[in-house]
Structure 1
Amino acid sequence: MKLNNNIWLLAILLIGFTACESDDDTLADPLIEETDVNTPTPVYTSGTADFSTFVAIGNSLTAGFSDNSLFMKGQEVSFPNILSQQFALAGGGTFTQPTINDNVGGLLLGGMPISGPRLVFDPVNQVPVSFNGTPTTDISNVVPGPYNNMGVPGAKSFHLLAPGYGNIANFPAAANPYFIRMASSPNATVLEDALAQNPTFFSLWIGNNDVLGYATTGGDGSNPITDQATFDGAMTALVSSLAANNTNGIIANIPNVTDAPYFTTVPFAPLDPSNPAFGPQIPTLNGIFGQLNQVFAFLESQGVPNATERSIVFSQTAASAVVIKDESLADLSMQIAGVLNASPTFPAFVESFGLPAAAAPVVANLLGFVYGQARQANANDLIVLPSSSIIGTVNADQSAFLQSQGLPEALADQFAVEGVSLPLEDKWVVIPTELAEIQNATTAFNQTISNLATQFDLAFFDVNTFFNGVASSGYQAGSAFMTADFVTGGTFSLDGVHPSPRGYSVVANQMIDIINTKYGSNLPTVNPVDYTGVYLD
């Protein structure tokens, strides 16, 4: 069984995309207002700041990463590049960036792809798709700076201090492909290369990946949250070094993951009974899970707390929640298998699937193994965006495993449907205990950042509060109303994490306003409508 799991997403994207398109059409023919020839040309000043050598340091958010890649058009609208253009009106100097070779995005190593092209929006099918092109940027072709934009996609706080982070000999274990191609020398640190330019003004936006990596991997442990002591030490070293000699700058904090469409777009209950690939299967599925639900009821009667909360039932009249693995639950694998093996009716149940009664112990053990920590998702779970491509599909590895245990291929496939008969793995879901870890770390890290801004008397951008407002109420940016909705909101790019060009312009504007207030400058902001919300090519 394979579900057409993109139907729900297409409906979401279809609603309001017309507004998104019309906004972009407006960009092609902007209104030019006549200016009175007698109006004096504005005079912009830097106040107490010195913008002559501006250096931006950080991660992908500083680099201009969007649509799941770094590419030329995206770098042109990075928030530091936008800032530099406004700084130039008040004494700012040249601003250089380690530009990717093309607008395809992606990277090569020795001619072999190590990351793919960027995403673009397909208006016909109403889905994000990979750009049709081949990457041409090979990280072995080092083009050392100095660069004013020292944003390194993927970097965590402590990576900016790590010698060898740009050494290709350390790749992939301990080196970053983006820094490899821009480092002044193989063992230089990101901070050293930034300081070598003697910045007179800096921006620092780092720390997102210290929690985001854990969140985007569903808290599966493959990308742990940075420990507090390491984060505090790295941030203190970074800010104290950049702010030495009373250098002015602006630092930004970490937005909450729940404000990004990567974590809010896929509903916890996407299984539609009207879907012809799913609806007709519901009676069979409920029959299978009925056996398990009876086990859960029995176990709770025997003192296993809250066992019935694991019951799985698919509705025939409303959308149903996906089935997930919740590793915070006690593992009842052995108890499930034990109860089923002791049931006198279970062999007949096994025979109803065309299997011999003698297979009952094997099936009982398999059911225990698969559903020992399973439950249906609820509104407190965050289903990550990439799961939309696998929910309802047959997991080939699971099917092969089940066939190796004696199940026929058709039956093995039926028991290997992602999110339906096979619980979604940890990497696809942020469960409440994991979300609490992420939110606690974000709060603690942001306190450190705020304290350092105060200690070194720097401008401070509370990105967390700002993006929370965008997510909850939207944001009026000129004639464009922006939200955190995937694709149609205009704030985030197609990867659901990084801002769109319009989103980056709004970030730059927020920073400009804060800089003007802190340092007495009078820099103008940019018009967000001059920046696209989504690339169609």
Structure 2
Amino acid sequence: MPACLSLLGILTLSYPHNALANPIKAAGNLLTADTLYLSVENQIDEPVETNTLRINELNATAATGGKPLVFGKKTIDSDKARIVAIGGSLAAGVQNGGLYRASQLTSYPNLIARQMGAAFRQPLFSAEEANGAGYKLLIREDGPVFRYSKVSDKLAVDPKSNAGQFRNFEGEIDNLALPFHNVRGSWKDLEYYSRLALPSMESQDFIPYFKRILPVGASDKSSSYLQYVEQRATADFVIFDPGMDGHLQSALVGGDASQLPQLEEGERGDKSEFRIVKNLAAKGAKGVLVTIPNVIEFPYFKMYTPEKLAMLQGEGRVSIRTNRGTIRSMNDRDVLLPSAKVEALFSGRSSGEVLGERESLAVDEGYDETAAYRNVNWYNEYYVKFIAKENDFAVFDLYALLKKINAGGYVTDDGVEVNPAFPDGNFYSDDAIHPTSFGQAVIANECIKAINEHYGSGLPLLNTREFLK
């Protein structure tokens, strides 16, 4: 498996091979434990052609735009405006655990730019390599273990590369958001990653996408995301999404504090990720900053729960090894992470385990490994909202939006109930983390409303119903 797919494998879960003792049929193909790979034509359950056509139509509308865009005291013709997005997986358009052409076309920055009537250039995978690095889709069948098929045709991986690198993308780019990128580490250059004793999730999964857009022959010493953006981002309007990727990368491995933001001395605007905003605003750019959500509320962290396990096996058979080194019985507040041991318990292949750091997040009276994710609002308040106010940027409170959606009962402006349930809801894609195309449209509309409220822009909302399956 190419290195650029490693986080994809984590997001979309490993599955026990014994779970396929009985072969299943799908689209006329016989699947066994060793042949779980279907072509996209046979397995895809997202309306790729429909969404692609719709966005192409929106692109055509944007190309004939020319309407005035109002951002407070600043007005610019839409056909002359440059909209730039900076961020991580969500803004890039990751869906079903991977990035592919159809998911790029429904990324929320692209949808916002369409509503502005402005051109928005993305590093799109070609039609011939439309499935990007590949992605996975849930096999919908009854059972306690979640299993996936892999979309593995039309990939964009360069066959000449032993490391599974992409072919280089050529052309100007407005969507500078990159999958699996912890924007708070934007100062790190490629040489920094090459010196790591062991490859991190970040270096394995972000770097191939970053190298894809770097100019051929770029120096490792001068190739940091911060430098790349500062050299290329001259913008009239900026969508800046600091990203949930750092929090997500931390939680996926059982609590890695190095991926989480820290309070820093000095001016808040000088923090590496916000230096970009400060410099762009100084050149006259307007924009919107996006808050970071509580990732523990995503369905991924509720796929396997102590309560479900107790119903299957009874209580008292599973222990948790905390990061403090202590071992205790599992309680109903612990978070179980999809992993080989956890899936063995749920499939009945194991009746007792000691779950370690990468298999659980421990929660008890004296120690809560989920607290850092639930308390992310300190960063939103101290940094995101402060920087937005300092630079006259709007704030899109994604943290608050996802809290409302995950609580249930949220209805879009065009009357669609947003269902956060997994796997049968309409908001979360098959990786149980990133939104569907409909989910991206919901996010785009809420971001547009924040822009309109702050700047009086009068941008029209999307019809989210069109993005449903």
1:437 correspondence with 2:432: no
Matched with 1:245 is 283
SS in 2 for 1:202: strand
Gaps of 5+ in 1: 7-21, 29-41, 107-116, 279-313, 315-319, 332-372, 395-413
1:47 correspondence with 2:74: no
Closer, same or farther in 2 for the Cα pair 1:480/1:531, shift >3 Å? same
Paired residue type of 1:467:
L
- Give 1:266 shift: 2.3
Matching of residues 328-407 of structure 1 within 5 Å:
331=326, 373-378=327-332, 380-386=333-339, 390-392=343-345
Matched with 1:468 is 403
- Give 1:512 shift: 1.0
Matched with 1:325 is 320
Structure 1 vs Structure 2: percent identity of aligned residues?
21
Counterpart contact for 1:97–1:148, Cα < 8 Å: yes
Paired residue type of 1:271:
L
Matched with 1:19 is none
Matched with 2:28 is none
Closer, same or farther in 2 for the Cα pair 1:474/1:387, shift >3 Å? farther
Work out the number of aligned pairs and report it: 381
Aligned match for 2:182, one of 141, 156, 167 = 156
Counterpart contact for 1:80–1:149, Cα < 8 Å: yes
- Looking at CA atoms only, which structure, 1 or 2, has the larger radius of gyration? 1
Gaps of 5+ in 2: 1-15, 21-44, 52-64, 159-164
SS in 2 for 1:324: strand
Aligned match for 1:215, one of 248, 251, 256 = 251
Closer, same or farther in 2 for the Cα pair 1:428/1:230, shift >3 Å? farther
Whole-Å separation in 2 of the counterparts to 1:84 and 1:523: 10
Closer, same or farther in 2 for the Cα pair 1:183/1:145, shift >3 Å? farther
* TM value normalised by structure 1: 0.63
Whole-Å separation in 1 of the counterparts to 2:317 and 2:108: 38
1:180 correspondence with 2:202: no
1:104 correspondence with 2:131: yes
- Give 1:78 shift: 0.6
Whole-Å separation in 2 of the counterparts to 1:165 and 1:474: 48
Counterpart contact for 1:486–1:492, Cα < 8 Å: yes
Counterpart contact for 2:236–2:284, Cα < 8 Å: no
Counterpart contact for 1:211–1:442, Cα < 8 Å: no
Whole-Å separation in 2 of the counterparts to 1:264 and 1:230: 36
Matched with 1:531 is 467
Aligned match for 2:104, one of 70, 75, 78 = 75
Counterpart contact for 2:301–2:336, Cα < 8 Å: yes
Matched with 2:388 is 453
SS in 1 for 2:375: helix
Matched with 2:358 is 427
Aligned match for 1:62, one of 68, 80, 91 = 91
Aligned match for 2:135, one of 118, 134, 149 = 118
Whole-Å separation in 2 of the counterparts to 1:123 and 1:439: 30
Report Cα offsets for 1:341-366 as digits up to 9, x if no partner.
xxxxxxxxxxxxxxxxxxxxxxxxxx
What is the root-mean-square deviation in Å for CA atoms of aligned residues? 3.7
Aligned match for 2:308, one of 248, 265, 270 = 270
Matched with 1:204 is 240
Instruction: Identify the range of structure 1 (453-462 vs 519-528) with the bigger mean alpha-carbon deviation.
Output: 519-528
- Give 1:242 shift: 2.6
Counterpart contact for 1:461–1:514, Cα < 8 Å: yes
Closer, same or farther in 2 for the Cα pair 1:517/1:224, shift >3 Å? closer
1:518 correspondence with 2:454: yes
Whole-Å separation in 2 of the counterparts to 1:183 and 1:383: 38
Closer, same or farther in 2 for the Cα pair 1:508/1:322, shift >3 Å? farther
- Give 1:210 shift: 2.7
* TM value normalised by structure 2: 0.71
